[in-house]
Structure 1
Amino acid sequence: MSAASRGGRCVVLPVEGREVRLTHPDRLLWPREGITKAQLVEYYLQVAPLMLPHLVDRPLVLTRYPQGIEGPSFYQKQAPHPRPAWVRTCPIAHEQRVVDYVVADSPATLAWLGNLAAVELHPWMSTVADPEHPDLLVIDLDPDPPSGFEESRRVALWLRPALEALGLQAVPKLSGATGVHVCIPLVPRHPYAVTSRVAAVIGQVLADLRPDLVTAERLVRRRQGRVYVDPYQNLRGKTVVGPYSPRPMPGAPVSVPVTWEELQHVCPSDFTVANWSRWLPGRRDPLIEARRRPQSLEPLLRRGLVEARPERA
């Protein structure tokens, strides 16, 4: 990272013809790992070619950690003030108010977000041009301890042929924690009420077939160490953490799309803010490629989800 000027605890960072002010660059965001705000910004700039295709033209929700991941945090939908004139925003109407969301469409905006200590970036599953019709459905696999990543991996690998039997191709994404997001690119034709219902029915079918391993139970106390299939992140205004977003967890893991072959052997610690130089160079993104071939839910809806159930794991 090069700086045009340094003054006290502020760096002016040139990014593709724009100037990004980086305040307190040495502030530790992951104290145990020694990862600073400047290193987070550097990561965002390096990952931008893969990250931006998942963020461009989408309302963005931020999770900010101004004092680092061990300090207070807050969830932010309204675009922060003040902000540079070149930071794009979009207004989205909600029941009680209109929210002006950030739209991350450039490396400079990612750097600016890094300076805000926006550790997690959560894009909507629909675009600003058509916010009511998602172009992504996510089967969110969230293990309840003592279940963990291995159980999430097992459920995801079992789910793949089940989805293919329903005519759907999916891409797995490590959540960066212990979960897996099974991502299904869609033609943006149906409202969130439909996509969330599809996710809920899939989750219930999985839970019915493997109640020892999977649950659709919303109450945490009733999950009993199983993998929860959470359909509710597919509702309007809800999100899952975006591709390549860091997570505010020990080790600074990153949520990364992987191939089904990779899913069989990778683990969350393989992809972190600290080790990006090992996994990022030359990496191809299977989710970007899959989003070029969006799928329709029409055949599935006409057929009826209950007609095709996956085999037992």
Structure 2
Amino acid sequence: MASEATTLTVPGPDGDREVRISSPSRVLFPDPGITKLDLAEYLVAVGEPFVRANGDRPVSLQRFGSGIDGESFFSKNPPKGAPGYVRDVTVTYPSGRSHPQLVIDEPAVAVWAAQMNTVVFHPWASRAEDSDHPDQLRIDLDPQPGTDFHDTVPVAHELRTVLAEVGLTAWIKTSGNRGLHVFAPIRPEHEFLDVRHAVIAAARELERRMPDRVTTAWWKEERGQRVFVDFNQANRDRTMAGAYSPRALAHASVSTPITWDELDGADPTTFTVRTVPERLSTVGDPWETMHEEPGDLAPLLAWWDRDLADGLGELPFPPDFPKMPGEPPRVQPSRAKKS
């Protein structure tokens, strides 16, 4: 007997695409009962702002074959049999290895990814045609145990002030979980390591201004009940959930751009696969004009140089990265003291 399947018509820049959805009734989010077809229809509904935020970038797909309660894996390069409108670009990873990685150019590609049980989309901070030079400064505000989303709100406001002082315009979105993501468009003139250093410089300045609320401590045992500024998200091949991407959480939350005026009253649990399409139709896309005036990273890099001169050096890299110049030992502080 033929397997259950349906076809979605997906508008795009080159006209409509017909995308086949197999097993459309497969439940991906059990609590709200959101199916594979529901997710695909969501991506059609948010297609234009989704592609504007995540398109023309190398992207990793987080796929869940049996729903969000099952195991997941990351898919980067297009599999064999991908439609002709799905392209890839060769990128270089921290190991020095190069490999083709998928690029989203139109909503049909996102819907095709949903056909492969993709739930979370993780775009790079750089464009496909110049993947070595980010055009976004991204700062992840991650509330630690004992803190929650509301603790990140005043931190985000102060971070906006810090970035404004160096000539960068901050844009904000919910992470889709407990934190906030602050982005600033930049001219693609610097490599990932420079952008990481700029993020560290901004994070250290934020920590100086809010020492009881903010930490840059890489080791969890040193963070306390503060908001961690995750500087390592700025590394090459390190990504966060894209704008308008669903998250693999029970209530089908979405990482959602908001305005700064909305931030104080925002409730991230209300931004879901069910609600975000209506929000876009009434509020619009707060990030629509984000890249019209990219900023200069040089002032933040000057702060990095200033901190270096004051004795503040490199911070730890993720464990899968090669050892980097100037990096402190990758040893948990409590273990280092014992040894």
**What is the TM-score normalised by the length of structure 2?**
0.84
Distance 1:287 1:231 in 2: 22
Q: Which residue does 1:85 correspond to in 2?
A: 84
Q: Where do residues 181-196 of structure 1 align in structure 2 (5 Å cutoff)?
A: 181-196=181-196
2:201–2:301 CA contact under 8 A, matched in 1: no
Distance 1:227 1:35 in 2: 32
Q: Which range is displaced more, 185-194 or 74-83?
A: 74-83
Q: Aligned residue pairs: how many? A: 302
Q: Which residue does 2:136 correspond to in 1?
A: 136
**1:9 and 2:8 matched:** no
Q: Which residue does 2:19 correspond to in 1?
A: 20
Distance 2:21 2:65 in 1: 13
- Partner amino acid, structure 2, of 1:93: T
Q: Which residue does 2:46 correspond to in 1?
A: 47
2:162–2:205 CA contact under 8 A, matched in 1: no
SS in 2 for 1:132: coil
1:58–1:127 CA contact under 8 A, matched in 2: yes
Distance 2:234 2:57 in 1: 15
SS in 2 for 1:172: strand
Output one character per residue of 1:121-173: Cα deviation in whole Å (capped at 9) or x when no partner.
01111111111110000111001122110011121012222221222210111
Q: Which range is displaced more, 259-268 or 270-279?
A: 270-279
Measure how far apart 1:84 and its partner are.
1.5
Distance 1:188 1:83 in 2: 30
Unmatched segments (≥5 aa) in structure 2: 308-339
Q: Which residue does 2:330 correspond to in 1?
A: none
Q: Where do residues 159-178 of structure 1 align in structure 2 (5 Å cutoff)?
A: 159-178=159-178
Q: Indicate how the Cα distance of structure 1 residues 80 and 246 shifts in structure 2: closer, same or farther if over 3 A, else same.
A: same
**1:274 and 2:274 matched:** yes
Measure how far apart 1:91 and its partner are.
1.8
1:167–1:300 CA contact under 8 A, matched in 2: no
Distance 2:20 2:27 in 1: 17
Aligned-residue CA RMSD (Å)? 1.9
SS in 1 for 2:261: helix
1:69–1:249 CA contact under 8 A, matched in 2: yes
Distance 1:277 1:60 in 2: 22
Q: Which range is displaced more, 154-163 or 283-292?
A: 283-292
Measure how far apart 1:109 and its partner are.
0.8
Q: Where do residues 1-313 of structure 1 align in structure 2 (5 Å cutoff)?
A: 8-16=3-11, 17-94=16-93, 95=95, 97-302=97-302
SS in 2 for 1:261: coil
- Partner amino acid, structure 2, of 1:90: V
Distance 2:135 2:92 in 1: 19
Distance 1:168 1:106 in 2: 29
**What is the TM-score normalised by the length of structure 1?**
0.91
Distance 1:86 1:254 in 2: 26
Q: Which range is displaced more, 180-189 or 272-281?
A: 272-281
Distance 2:299 2:230 in 1: 23
Measure how far apart 1:280 and its partner are.
2.0
- Partner amino acid, structure 1, of 2:294: P
SS in 2 for 1:281: helix
1:64–1:76 CA contact under 8 A, matched in 2: yes
Q: Which range is displaced more, 140-149 or 163-172?
A: 163-172
Q: Which range is displaced more, 180-189 or 54-63?
A: 54-63
SS in 2 for 1:61: strand
Q: Which residue does 1:310 correspond to in 2?
A: none
